[in-house]
């Protein structure tokens, strides 16, 4: 069998970058700022229209999507039919999403995929569609499995197909029409809490940041809606657990003054 990885790497170089996210996907709370998302039916205002989300989407769902796009092998973007299909290696994606000593479970991966297949997004006059239409094995690209068994002369080791994820028309539309951003999602994935991840993603879509910093509460309310009392205290407690991880993403927080500062927009490319 030919070196599939080498072939795919060369083909990927020939394709324009489609990024790992867009402005709307990071700036609006389509993905709830938590790792324990609940079902919601909610509408958000966007410069490109009104977006309604019906389903369960959290920052762990966003991490999976960004990782698939970051590690993608190839994509097929059909603007006329609003279709976006991405080829990826399931094993690589799950390995990339693993943090610490815990292995990213196949069951967890499948549940996130199922959630996104059942979550509908409606944008403007476009009919509501799931964020993901489906995932199917590729008929053209396969990867060799690892095996502890000795190879048998004249026979190849088993092969597993790469997977193809097909996005709904809203995700395709945003990819075509909006400013796109490319960054390594790993430092964000390593943050312990969803609110920290949501803040980091929000800030990565901004090129310029106020020298006096952001008012922390106001910034967070862009992602959560109005917060008061115990909820505000709980959010700050979660952010304090991620102080070091946020610094690795170029973010520092002065909790006494309730201000957030972006030191550096690490390795972000807009297109």
Residues 145 and 230 in one domain: no
Largest CA distance in the chain: 70
The phi, psi pair for 248, rounded to 5°, reads -65, -20
Residues 164 and 215 in one domain: no
Residues 11 and 57 in one domain: yes
Residues 130 and 173 in one domain: yes
Q: Give me the number of domains the chain comprises.
A: 2
Characterize the bridge pairing of strands 120-123 and 129-130. antiparallel
Supply the pTM of this predicted model.
Answer: 0.91
Distance between CA atoms of residues 38 and 258, nearest Å: 28
Residues 95 and 216 in one domain: no
Beta bridge partner(s), residue 166 = 85, 134
The percent of residues above 70 in pLDDT, for the chain, comes to 92
Answer with the one of 161, 182, 203 that is the final residue of a domain.
Answer: 182
Predicted local confidence at residue 90, as pLDDT: 94
93 C-beta neighbours (distance < 10 Å), count: 19
Q: Which domain holds residue 175?
A: 4-182
Over residues 162-180, the mean pLDDT reads: 95
Answer with the one of 182, 199, 218 that is the final residue of a domain.
Answer: 182
User: Confidence band (pLDDT; 50, 70, 90) for 125?
Assistant: confident
Q: Is the CB of residue 11 less than 8 Å from the CB of residue 38?
A: no
Residues 175 and 210 in one domain: no
**SS3 of residue 34 by DSSP:** coil
């Amino acid at each position: 069998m030919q070196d599939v990885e080498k072939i795919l790497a060369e083909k990927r170089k020939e394709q324009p970058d489609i990024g790992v996210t867009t402005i709307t996907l990071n700036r609006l709370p389509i993905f709830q700022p938590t790792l324990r998302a609940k079902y919601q039916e909610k509408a958000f205002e966007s410069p490109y229209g009104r977006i309604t989300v019906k389903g369960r989407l959290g920052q762990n769902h966003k991490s999976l999507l960004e990782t698939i796009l970051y590690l993608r092998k190839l994509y097929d973007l059909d603007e006329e039919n609003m279709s976006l299909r991405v080829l990826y290696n399931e094993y690589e994606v799950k390995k990339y999403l693993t943090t610490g000593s815990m292995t990213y479970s196949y069951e967890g991966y499948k549940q996130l995929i199922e959630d996104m297949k059942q979550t509908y997004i409606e944008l403007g006059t476009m009919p509501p569609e799931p964020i993901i239409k489906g995932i199917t094995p590729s008929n053209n690209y396969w990867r060799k499995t690892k095996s502890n068994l000795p190879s048998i002369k004249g026979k190849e080791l088993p092969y597993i197909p790469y997977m193809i994820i097909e996005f709904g028309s809203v995700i395709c539309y945003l990819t075509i029409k909006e400013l796109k951003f490319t960054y390594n999602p790993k430092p964000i994935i390593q943050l312990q809490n969803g609110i920290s991840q949501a803040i980091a993603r929000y800030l990565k879509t901004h090129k310029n940041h106020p020298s006096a910093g952001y008012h922390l509460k106001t910034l967070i309310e862009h992602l959560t809606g109005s917060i008061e009392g115990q909820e505000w205290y709980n959010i700050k407690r979660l952010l304090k657990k991620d102080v070091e991880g946020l610094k690795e993403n170029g973010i520092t927080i002065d909790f006494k003054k309730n201000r957030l500062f972006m030191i550096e927009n690490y390795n972000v490319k807009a297109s």
